[in-house]
A and B are shown apart, each in its own frame.
Chain A
Amino acid sequence: MKVITLTLRLHQRFFPKVLTVTGFILLLFLVPLLAIQSSFLLQVLSTSFLYAALSLSWNLLAYSGHISLGHAAFFGLGAYGSALFALNFDTDPFTSIWAGGLAGALLAAFSGILFARLRGAYFALATLALVEIPKMIADNWVSLTRGSLGLLNIPPFKLPLINANSNLTIYLVNLSSLTILLLVVALILNSRWGWALRALRQDEKVSMTIGINSNFYTLITISVSGFGAGICGAIFAHSIGIIEPGMVFSLHYSALPMVMALFGGRFSVIGPVVGSLVLTLLDQFVFQPIFPSGHQILYGLAIMITILFMPGGLMGLLGARKHGITGS
């Protein structure tokens, strides 16, 4: 009986939210029909979906209290892994992105084991330094990666009935992957796994005394996070068609997921998605026209404002989760 009432209460609490999010996503799938002429809007939205997926991956790790400044490492390795797989084995992009995700997950698992003893600022610092290592390899292993010349002619996504590599294809691919990732992250965060992560974030020692295996949960979480980032990198590689080390292993892709997740609200499941939509639209439609060269100043300002004035991000302001627990 108790179980049933609990399920019912959970259902009442989450059902309206789930309904809203599902409705919103369905609406987004319809956007191309309405705004098919405005290809710029489609491009901007596709970009924001990719960033949202990347931020969701980043935030999954952040739920355990580990702030990463190096997701560009997983993103870039995903891009290179998928592009090289597709070019060398002549496969379809929909196959090779899994190879990219796997590459990101392997590097993430490796760094999770290597940095197991690091916490807080020192974990962040180690991940910041981590990005340089795959970059150095991609830059110097010329026979495989062509070094700083980069990889060209990466095969584009092809969907039935739609022209190859059109904005619409990329839009649908990005939106679908965002939807799947959102579902996966929401399931993880509403399971025992997710609550273990929250417990670890709030007090690692206490969590361990009640039987939460800190190393195990951190390791699987960072691996899934790296997998997500790798998939995002892979999708990026196939939609752009050209990658080079400085482009994918850049500070940009380490900063973006953090900015968007923090700004949207890192203590909520859909916070990173909200942050990505708001910031990308603001960037492309307001800051880009005003400061054509330094428009990314927006992202720097967003981090600083979030840290100073709204630790819960936009979702925190909306009162989506008023726990009074900000964690670390």
Chain B
Amino acid sequence: MYLKLLISGLALGSFYAIIALGFSMIFGVTRVFNLAHGELLLAGGYVAYVACERFGLGFWPSVPISVLALILLGVILYRVFRAIKEPLELNTIVFTFGLVIALQNLFLIFFSADYRILTTPEWSTTIEIFNVSFTRGHLSMFLTAFISVSALYFVLRHTFWGKALRATIQDREAVGLLGIDVEKNSILAFLGGIALVGLAGPFFASFHYIHPTGGIEATLIAIIVTIVAGVGHVRAVIWAGWGMGLLENLVTTTLGAAFREGVTSLVLIAILLYKPCGLADNQ
């Protein structure tokens, strides 16, 4: 029983780590405080839902479609975000709040308020590894998170481009003086972050029921994980993501699902009170 909770908590946590990494990359290079993160995740989920349920594709083929769709959306969003004036953090938080409302209503127009889910019946079958039974769904989540996070870690730590990117997160102006193309780096990192959201979208739609207003909690969790871990710290994001996943599972089993959103909000407030400068501390 506890082992099962641990596994599903860690699977949930891996999912949180992916979306938090997306948030962290977007914020790190563009300083855009993206409140619409959860809605972008929902957009990915809806794209995958259409690909699966309307066009009869399976779960895995729908993943690259969702990633591509979000990258296209990301190209437009990047241009718009660039046009926002100082004070950037406050203006982007207000702007993306508008984006939240706009996207929620677009989902309402196209998909109505119904709860929808990607049906993946084969995912509930279990596989035994070392006497521990995993469901296929959890296993795919682990593998996806493991592969994408280690790929990102490798790129950020061991390639020139990754180092330039981390330097960009730390100090844009100094990096520009060193002759690194900040603008190109920014757009690539932004699209990378968006692509991570596109990757997570189909998983979101197959683990949860998705509905037009179901994105805000994912946003709050991505922000919590990013603040705890610090912008651009890949390994810390994994730990914080797992911590959040386990906490959510613990709350759902002990207090009940009705308390989950409330506890998430309390955690966010507590963290903001502890770290009043939020993300700025971790530069």
* Contacts from A to B (Cβ < 8 Å): 67, 69, 114-115, 117-122, 124-126, 128-133, 135-136, 139-140, 251, 255, 258-259, 262, 291, 293-297, 299-304, 307-308, 311, 328
Contacts and interface: CB of A to CB of B under 8 A. Distances in A.
A170 to B, nearest CB: 26
B94 A258 contact: yes
Nearest to A134: B262
B80 interface: yes
B83 A67 contact: no
B213 A251 contact: yes
Label chain A's interface by main secondary structure. helix
A300 B101 contact: yes
A120 B98 contact: no
Contact of B266 (A69, A117, A133, A308): A133
Interface in B23-46: 33, 35
14 contacts: A67-B93, A118-B272, A118-B273, A120-B89, A121-B90, A125-B268, A129-B268, A136-B258, A136-B265, A140-B258, A293-B109, A293-B113, A297-B102, A302-B98
Contacts of B272: 115, 118, 122, 125-126, 129
B112 A293 contact: yes
Given A296-B105, A302-B98, A307 B258 contact: no
Contacts of B278: 121-122, 125
A255 B277 contact: no
Contacts of A126: 268-269, 272-273
Contacts of B97: 69, 255, 258, 303
A128 B213 CA distance: 15
Contact of A118 (B89, B264, B276): B276
Interface in B91-120: 91-95, 97-109, 112-113
Interface in B139-197: none
Contacts of A295: 105
Interface string B187-213: 000000000000000000000000001
Nearest to B113: A293
A214 B271 CA distance: 23
